[in-house]
Amino acid sequence: LSVVAGVNNLPKFVLKTSTSSCEIYLHGAHVTSFKINSNENLFMSEKSAFQENKAIRGGIPLIWPQFGPGKIQTHGFARNLDWDVNKALVDEKAQSVQIEFFLKSSEATDKILGVSSEFIVFYRVTLHPDFLDLEYEVKNTSQQNTMEFQLAFHTYYSISDIKNVHVLGLKGREYIDKMKNMEKKKENRKEVTIDQEVDSVYLNVIPTQGGSSYQPLQLVDTQKKTSVTLTYDYQSIPDVVVWNPWIEKSKKMEDFGDEEYHKMICIEIGVINNPVKLSPNQTFQTKHSILPTNSSSSSL
């Protein structure tokens, strides 16, 4: 584990195991790289801003405490603020490296929220030789007030080309189509492909829901012959967003290249539809893991 100067001299932590590596900026506690055997799993925009009060474009932005537009800035403030580091751990037996960040309520967050709030958030990133664990913990430290929030790991995956990928594990799910006036639809496709702007929030993607077993959530790249399996704590973060800005939206985004939509897909795990209500002194905990698989060891 080391800390180095990243883009614009922003501090960046580098985690390494024998086979994997991961880079995380203090700004937004933002994971910008996750490699296994030198293969990058995350997409980063070449036009990303690395500056105060702006989110990094690509990697794993943390969306908290609000998803999308609303009372405060779009997708909340967690991705725009500098976090602090609590501790780092090396587990020799598991061959893993962990770093824990925290973000505490402050004058700055009170100003954004327009009310005084009391919370502390811990974000633990654990790099294993062949996968990445992301743990998020919110403590409502207020003695009187309930707090409410949404959360998402807004992960940008690096792909060979959008035409070569599909997402498994969404068939039969209800989703909100943000491209069609928030219309509620049912997903009928086993393989969800993208050939236009897509912005869909799949609801309650719980594998064992209703007694039947579902295919786990997986991103497949048929050209690279790779897949990434996404696991998550279904009780606490059951919603899944699939997003690709496609041609027109890419042109409108100043921190995103016009052609970069070919090279990325966002699959975001979170709690979006039913915000969490956390009573005074209560703690919310969740976990999401990203497990890349090489085609040689899977059944693609």
Does 178 sit near ligand BG6 (CB under 6 A)? yes
In the complex with ligand BG6, which residue's Cβ is closer, 23 or 199?
199
Do the Cβ atoms of 191 and 167 come closer than 8 Å? yes
In the complex with ligand BG6, which residue's Cβ is closer, 131 or 202?
202
**Cα first-last separation, the chain:** 34
**How many of the chain's residues bind ligand BG6 (CB under 6 A)?**
10
Judge whether 268 counts as a catalytic residue.
yes
65 upstream amide cis, omega within 30 of 0 = yes
Long-range Cβ contacts of 113-120 (<8 Å, 24+ apart): 113/71, 113/72, 114/71, 114/72, 117/142, 117/145, 117/147, 118/142, 118/145, 119/147
Does 288 sit near ligand BG6 (CB under 6 A)? no
Q: How far is CA 105 from the centre of its chain?
A: 22
Q: Which of 50, 157, 202, 243 binds ligand BG6 (CB under 6 A)?
A: 243
In the complex with ligand BG6, which residue's Cβ is closer, 219 or 241?
241
Judge whether 107 counts as a catalytic residue.
no
* Catalytic option among 23, 100, 187, 268: 268
Distance in Å, CB of 73 to ligand BG6, minimum: 9
Distance in Å, CB of 201 to ligand BG6, minimum: 7
Based on its alpha-carbon atoms, the radius of gyration of the chain, rounded to whole angstroms, reads 19
Q: 3-state DSSP call for residue 210?
A: helix
Q: Which of 198, 230, 241, 265 binds ligand BG6 (CB under 6 A)?
A: 241
* Per-residue interface string for the shown chain with ligand BG6, residues 132-161, x marking contact by CB under 6 A: ----------------------x-------
Does 268 sit near ligand BG6 (CB under 6 A)? yes
Give the residue from 90, 97, 87 showing the smallest Cα distance to 123.
87
Do the Cβ atoms of 128 and 96 come closer than 8 Å? yes
Residue listed under structure tokens 């962990």: 98
Give the residue from 113, 222, 208 showing the smallest Cα distance to 167.
222
Q: Which pair of structure tokens corresponds to residue 145?
A: 């007030």
In the complex with ligand BG6, which residue's Cβ is closer, 55 or 78?
55
* Catalytic option among 27, 30, 154, 288: 154
* Per-residue interface string for the shown chain with ligand BG6, residues 198-217, x marking contact by CB under 6 A: -x------------------
Distance in Å, CB of 92 to ligand BG6, minimum: 38
In the complex with ligand BG6, which residue's Cβ is closer, 15 or 81?
81
Q: Which of 12, 27, 75, 166 binds ligand BG6 (CB under 6 A)?
A: 75
Scan residues 1-60 and list those touching ligand BG6 (CB under 6 A): 55
Q: Where are the beta strands (DSSP E) in the chain?
A: 2-5, 11-16, 20-25, 30-36, 39-40, 62-63, 84-91, 96-104, 119-127, 132-140, 147-158, 165-168, 174-177, 183-186, 198-202, 218-221, 226-232, 239-244, 264-278, 283-294
For residue 122, the number of C-alpha atoms closer than 13 Å in the C-beta half-sphere is 17
Q: Which of 37, 53, 74, 283 binds ligand BG6 (CB under 6 A)?
A: 74
Contact range with ligand BG6 by CB under 6 A, out of 67-75, 109-117, 203-211, 218-226: 67-75
Q: How far is CA 244 from the centre of its chain?
A: 14
Q: Which positions are annotated as active-site residues?
A: 154, 268
Contacts with ligand BG6, residue ranges (CB under 6 A): 55, 68, 74-75, 154, 178, 199, 241, 243, 268
